[in-house]
Amino acid sequence: MKFSLSVTLLALLSNGISVHATTDLGAGFITATSDVTEQANIALDIKDMRDKLRRRDFGGARTVYENGANSQGTTVKRSLQKFSTAAGAQDNKFADVPAFWFHVWGITSGNYRTLNDFLTYGDDYVTNALEDRNSGTIAAEAALVLNTWMYIAHNIYDALGACRAGDSTSAFEAIDEAAAFWVGADQSLALGSGHGMFELTQQVDSEFDMLQSVAVANEKFKDIHEKMTFVISRGGCRTNSAETGAVKLYHLGNEMISVMMIPLMKKLIQAIVDDDVQMIKLYTLSIVPQIFAVHTSVGRLLMDRLYYFDYDSNDEDEVIRKLQSTYSGLGFTCEDIGRYRSEVRCEEPGNELVGYEPSTDVREEAQIDLDILHIKILCRASAFNPALDIYVYGKHSNIGSEYEYLTLQELATGENRKAAEPWFGYFEDYYNGDENYADTFILQSLAGSGRFTELSDLQRGEFIFKGLQYQVTYMAALGEFYTSFEMCKNRDSDSASAWDKGVAYAVGSIEGTQEGGEPTSDGMMLYNLANKRCSEWNTCQTEDSNDKRAAKARLIVDFEQAFEEGGNPSRCDDIKEAADKLALDLLIPVMQGSMRYAIKNANLNPGTTSKDLAEGEIFSTGYLPLVAQFDSRAQATIERNMLINIGQQPVPDGPQAVADAINSVVTDFGATCSDVGYHDDVNVNVCGITESSDSGDEPWWCFLRPQDC
């Protein structure tokens, strides 16, 4: 959709929004409704830095970088350094910018304890480059692709905050500043005319033989800026409509940030193919940390191969394939990136889920796991406001129009859950009749209200994202499985689609298409948890003794039981039988998680704020509603030991008491004690600590593994 300037100005005036000045950016390519001339002049600082570095005037380049030269702010010169150091100030300007936290998370390789050590990563890189007189002009390029790029992301989220506050003028200024920083002064459509991200994007499209007047990403940036302008100009940020307008700006902002990543990815691929080590390291730092919010193991591999260690050109094809595997999660396509002198073809991801072949396309539904991963990262950074946005508005599962997304809150409150009887009823009963039980505690934890006022930020985060992983998606998956059964009985041809959605909610997209899934460091759903816990509890059930994954053996068989190839139900009763089995099989790793934290938490002191306490509780409440239906004494034991009781000794009866309580109800789950398992390193066994009847000298586990005794 294209919006003319005259239509936009008319909409502004008709909605009582004053326009003081407009600014042509890129020789009229983008027209800002605010005066952002000075903001655009920051690109001249990039030019001045580059010119001075070419003359080996490192001191002069540093002065421009630190003090600014061409862009006048309200009281002092704007500086490229402050675009980064604003993150390290007491009032972190990037506190509510998800892209910033994803980047810092990636730089730390997911170590939340060291996040604060890397807040000014951009300034750190530029400053180090300025101290190295052999670094050429890399400091100027780093100031652009690290500092300026992230500050543009900050502007995008500033617009969202202003719109929510009903401040249309500030919302306009924020999106126009983003455009000014992107395009910069001097820019026209002629190659070599500018100095900012717009020019860099033009240049790299030319080098990829893709440039037709305007680069793909620049066209998309303009289109999104126009849509944002239109939303605000039509009164979208007025008090009575700010929520609707803010939702649109939120989704447009996420789309814009994905577009901004396109030239960074291209520059990295170009550097890899050209074997330019200096540029490889810079552009790895500019884009690869974002991959940790998509695929952890790929992010780690790429940071090792490209940044922490010297690049080996023999790895070119593998590295490019790994980069390509992240495109969808980052929000762009193979076509957006193109090819640069490489034989490695890029293919969009298939529809398979760890070897299961859905008969319908559920790729968007499966990507709900990326929303959970993003929320996890934001919670670990105590960035609860942007985490709430993702929970309520969604981000990765676009299931309809431009602004229509599947959301985790919808999964937590959806009507389909009620088809999963008796399981849904058990959870509703356990939570005192609250049918939206998970939504209730997630919202309270995000807000830090109710009982969560007494918990640490880390503990709150565990309730949020583990509640999403193992309670919200559990009931959402069951709801689809049982809806599939009801639809089958009614001869509804969409029965297979419902079943496929259930599998998508249990597996997610991160696990990939190949049988068995990705490394356990990657997945976010119950399928991943089954693989993660089976080796710890000796329940891996695969033919390959070296394969420590459990889910293929148990869950995939369940998934495939209901439908024949092509999505035709074997029998409606088969769907019901498979759904009943999955309702219980999916809880086995949840019980194992509960026992894992019973062991860990027994060693904690009263009054601890360890996140492990929250993990123990959230795993336990993931199956306690069923225990409550079967054995009230077992319920009381698990609650006494696993629910947080501030100031009291955690797990007062010891971890074996929890295992014994699970043992007392495990047959009611349709399983055996050996299905839940035993722990090699400590004397905890769901089957009980039992000495062999043959010899009192044999270890307790001999009855399970006589071959080892």
Of 64-68, 228-232, 344-348, the range with the lowest mean pLDDT is 344-348
Do residues 646 and 606 both lie within one domain? yes
Whether the per-residue pLDDT at 569 is higher than 70: the answer is no
Do residues 272 and 390 both lie within one domain? no
Whether the per-residue pLDDT at 551 is higher than 90: the answer is no
Give the domain-ending residue among 585, 600, 618: 585
Do residues 111 and 215 both lie within one domain? yes
Q: Assign 480 a pLDDT band (cuts: 50, 70, 90).
A: very high
Residue 241 forms part of a structural domain: yes
Average pLDDT, stretch 37-50? 98
DSSP conformation class of 608 = -
pLDDT at 698: 41
Residue 354 forms part of a structural domain: no
User: How far is Cα 306 from Cα 276, in angstroms, rounded to an integer?
Assistant: 11
Do residues 595 and 565 both lie within one domain? no
Global confidence as pTM:
0.93
Higher pLDDT, 534 or 590: 590
Cα first-last separation, the chain: 73
Whether the per-residue pLDDT at 3 is higher than 80: the answer is no
Whether the per-residue pLDDT at 499 is higher than 60: the answer is yes
DSSP conformation class of 69 = S
Residue 235 forms part of a structural domain: yes
Average pLDDT, stretch 620-646? 97
Do residues 606 and 578 both lie within one domain? no
DSSP conformation class of 605 = P
Whether the per-residue pLDDT at 558 is higher than 90: the answer is no
Residue 326 forms part of a structural domain: yes
Range of the domain at 369: 363-527+539-585
3-class secondary structure per residue, 436-496? CHHHHHHHHHHHCCHHHHHCCHHHHHHHHHHHHHHHHHHHHHHHHHHHHHHHHHCCCCCHH
For 82-116, give the DSSP string: HHHHTTTSSS-TTTT-HHHHHHHHHHTTS-GGGGG
User: How far is Cα 651 from Cα 647, in angstroms, rounded to an integer?
Assistant: 12
pLDDT at 487: 94
Cα angle 235, 236, 239 (rounded to 5 degrees) comes to: 85
Residue 508 forms part of a structural domain: yes
Higher pLDDT, 208 or 2: 208
Whether the per-residue pLDDT at 557 is higher than 80: the answer is no
pLDDT tens readout for residues 157-168: 999 999 999 999
Do residues 93 and 230 both lie within one domain? yes
Residue 558 forms part of a structural domain: yes
pLDDT tens readout for residues 591-624: 999 999 999 999 999 989 999 999 999 999 999 9
Whether the per-residue pLDDT at 675 is higher than 60: the answer is yes
Do residues 253 and 384 both lie within one domain? no
Average pLDDT, stretch 430-457? 97
Average pLDDT, stretch 686-694? 59
Helix or strand run (H / E) with residue 328:
helix 327-330
Residue 130 forms part of a structural domain: yes
Residue 248 forms part of a structural domain: yes
Whether the per-residue pLDDT at 428 is higher than 60: the answer is yes
For 649-704, give the DSSP string: -SSTT-HHHHHHHHHHHGGGGT--HHHH-EETTTTEETT-----SS-TTS-GGGGT
Do residues 210 and 275 both lie within one domain? yes
pLDDT tens readout for residues 63-121: 999 999 999 999 999 999 999 999 987 889 999 999 999 999 999 999 999 999 999 99
Whether the per-residue pLDDT at 700 is higher than 50: the answer is no
Assess contact for 272 and 306: CB atoms under 8 A: yes
For β-strands 678-679 and 684-685, DSSP reports them as: antiparallel
Q: Assign 567 a pLDDT band (cuts: 50, 70, 90).
A: low
Nearest CA to 308 out of 601, 108, 104 is that of: 108
Do residues 54 and 30 both lie within one domain? yes
pLDDT at 140: 98
Nearest CA to 135 out of 53, 64, 47 is that of: 53
Do residues 193 and 108 both lie within one domain? yes
Q: Mean pLDDT score of the chain, rounded to an integer?
A: 91
Do residues 256 and 239 both lie within one domain? yes
Whether the per-residue pLDDT at 552 is higher than 50: the answer is no
Do residues 104 and 156 both lie within one domain? yes
Q: Assign 704 a pLDDT band (cuts: 50, 70, 90).
A: very low
Helix or strand run (H / E) with residue 139:
helix 138-142
For 249-291, give the DSSP string: HHHHHHHHHHHHHHHHHHHHHHHHHHT-HHHHHHHHHHHHHHH
Q: List Cβ neighbours of 24 (8 Å cut-off, separation of 6 or more).
A: 30, 31, 32
- What are the residues facing 214 on neighbouring strands? 212
Q: What is the dihedral of CA 433, 437, 443, 444, to 10 degrees?
A: 60
For 209, other C-beta atoms within 10 Å of its C-beta total 10
pLDDT at 546: 52
Whether the per-residue pLDDT at 692 is higher than 50: the answer is no
Burial of 693: CB neighbours in 10 Å, binned 0-12, 13-18, 19+: exposed
Residue listed under structure tokens 């640490």: 456
C-alpha torsion sign, points 315, 316, 318, 322: positive
φ and ψ at residue 24, rounded to 5 degrees: -85, 125
If one counts the domains in the chain, the total is 3
pLDDT tens readout for residues 354-388: 888 999 999 999 999 999 999 999 999 999 999 99
Assess contact for 445 and 463: CB atoms under 8 A: yes
